[in-house]
Amino acid sequence: MANQDDQFKKVISHAKEYGYVFQSSEIYDGLSAVYDYAQNGVELKNNIRNYWWKAMVQMHDNIVGIDSAIFMHPTIWKASGHVDAFNDPLIDNKDSKKRYRADVLIEDYCAKIESKLNKEVAKAEKRFGEAFNKEEFVSTNQRVIGYQTKINETLSRMAKSLENEDLADVKALIEELEIADPVSGSKNWTDVKQFNLMFGTKLGASADSAMDLYLRPETAQGIFVNFLNVQKSSRLKIPFGIAQTGKAFRNEIVARQFIFRMREFEQMEMQFFIKPGTQKEWYEQWKEKRLKWHLSLGLGEENYRFHNHEKLAHYADAASDIEFNFPFGFKELEGIHSRTDFDLSQHEKFTGKKLQYFDPEENKSYTPYVLETSIGLDRMFLAVFSKALEEEQLDNDTTRTVLRLPAVLAPNKAAILPLVKKDGLPEIAQQIVEDLRWDFNVVYDEKDAVGRRYRRQDANGTPFCITVDHDTLDDNTVTIRHRDSMEQERVKIQDLKDIIKKETDMRFWLMKM
Ligand code: GAP
């Protein structure tokens, strides 16, 4: 755990030091759970968005993109169920006056038991060495069985109480488990209440005529309400998809873990409209497709797993998360939801307008079912960034900090370095920059010894360093150094473009899907 915390602290400080992510309003002591993307961060974020857009929209004949407004008619959120059901169960501590999510307090309690359980297993593993059989140990050791039973019973009681809206039992559970306020240690709790996560705002100049609006908590509804407009203007036939990326807002109560859970964040969502009855098949197909997209980036197959939901959101008949191994453990990165015809039917009900599709093959009209894929761009950023950061042990007993970002996503593809600041080398390096910048983001760096510049670019995630030296003056060749292997080779200036393109082109990466 301590190790994970340390690694996570390194990720956060590296993101700041190298111009990826800053705390919002930092000089005013910051705004909690709101972050700004800095000069490198915005490039990485744009590249992730483009990588998703390419795979989801541009590589599919039957998926198109839109960009709907953040402000939407307020009744949309009544129809979608967000006004009534988009809630978190909250509890206040009367002594510390701190507010918590009741379910998170209970989950944290279970996580502590789980870490005790893991310690027992680690101890036994150490004791028995090679002869250790983990499966047998966890199914026979009485202490471990006791811990696991406690976790299972607690979580299933909590799920049942939340499902039945029995908030009194959620409070009773917190009291029975003797859960204390993590800040003050007090066990003096209020009742549990539901709290809506949508941010409200007003449209209009005068107080009496102003209309109450919400900032959208998901981009999906902008797609549903445009379903017929897009279908008619594009003449797409079912099955087809509509995708969009954009900001979403949630008044998260427990907003922590850096950019993992923010109050203002960005989603990349795709709604796939299908014939009713085919949802199981599409659900499996999209789960597989989306996992392949993640794997194409080469962050390690072992860092992903599916988590199928038992408790389903109000709109879904099946749902699964792709979880990623973040520095704080496996957590949701993307959701794949079989949303039935819930949203379109609700909008039909609230508007009195038909949102149906005439199927020429079936010769009848129906309200399509929807399969959704929904990923947080900021979470994807954190996944990529945290897995890329490494303190590498080198042969000569030194270490280097290297940010092994997939080259296709790296903010800068190459740094161009004149060996010295004289003899015409900077001029050649600048010429290379001017030429390459038409195709790639590149930087020029002439400050410090070349070894230090290499290290700086390693830590910045730049896949290539190109060094111009005195031989360049004679033969028009340069040294190209690869970030990951640190290998160097001599190449012709005119070949640079092809070499960089080969490793940074989306085609090369997405072909692996
Ligand atoms: N349209 C479906 C939907 O919004 P969700 O599971 O609530 O489903 C989808 O959110 C994705 O959005 C999540 O898997 C996560 O990656 C991202 N996300 C949700 N809340 C977030 C938050 N507060 N901060 C950052 N990302 C968030």
Give the helix ranges, DSSP H, for 18-81. Answer: 39-53, 75-79
Q: What confidence tens digit (pLDDT) does each residue in 341-383 have?
A: 999 999 999 999 999 999 999 999 999 999 999 999 999 999 9
Mean pLDDT estimate for the chain = 95
For residue 1, the model assigns a pLDDT of: 52
Instruction: Tell the residue nearest (CA) to atom 27 of ligand 1.
Output: 376
Beta bridge partners, 321, equal 307, 335
CA of 504 to the centre of ligand 1 (A): 29
Integer Cα distance of 496 and 475 in angstroms? 14
Pick the CATH number of 1-69+213-292+334-402 from 3.30.930.10, 3.30.1390.10, 3.30.360.10, 3.40.50.300: 3.30.930.10
pLDDT beyond 60 at 456: yes
Using CA atoms, how far apart are residues 17 and 35, in angstroms rounded to an integer?
Answer: 15
Binning pLDDT at 50, 70 and 90, where does residue 48 land?
Answer: very high
Does the pLDDT at position 423 exceed 80? yes
Helical H segments across 164-278, by residue range: 167-176, 220-224, 227-234
DSSP assignments along 323-382, one per residue: EEEETTEEEEEEEEEEEETHHHHHHHHHH-----EEETTTTEEEPPEEEEEEEEHHHHHH
CB-ligand 1 contact for 144 (6 Å cutoff): no
| pLDDT at residue 338, as a whole number | 97
Please name the residue whose Cα sits nearest to atom 22 of ligand 1: 261
What is the token pair recorded at 20? 């990826």
CATH (one of 3.40.50.800, 3.10.450.50, 3.30.200.20, 3.40.50.720) for 412-510: 3.40.50.800
**Per-residue pLDDT at 256 exceeds 90:** no
- 87 membership: H or E segment, kind and range: strand 87-92
Asked whether 268 lines ligand 1 (CB < 6 A), one says no
Does 217 sit in the ligand 1 pocket, CB within 6 Å?
no
Cα distance between residue 375 and residue 333, in whole Å: 6
Report CA(165)–ligand 1 centroid distance (Å): 23
- Exposed/middle/buried for residue 251 (C-beta within 10 Å: 0-12, 13-18, 19+): middle
What is the chain's alpha carbon radius of gyration, rounded to the nearest angstrom?
A: 27
Residue boundaries of the structural domains of the chain: 1-69+213-292+334-402, 412-510
Q: How far apart are CA 243 and CA 56, in angstroms?
A: 8
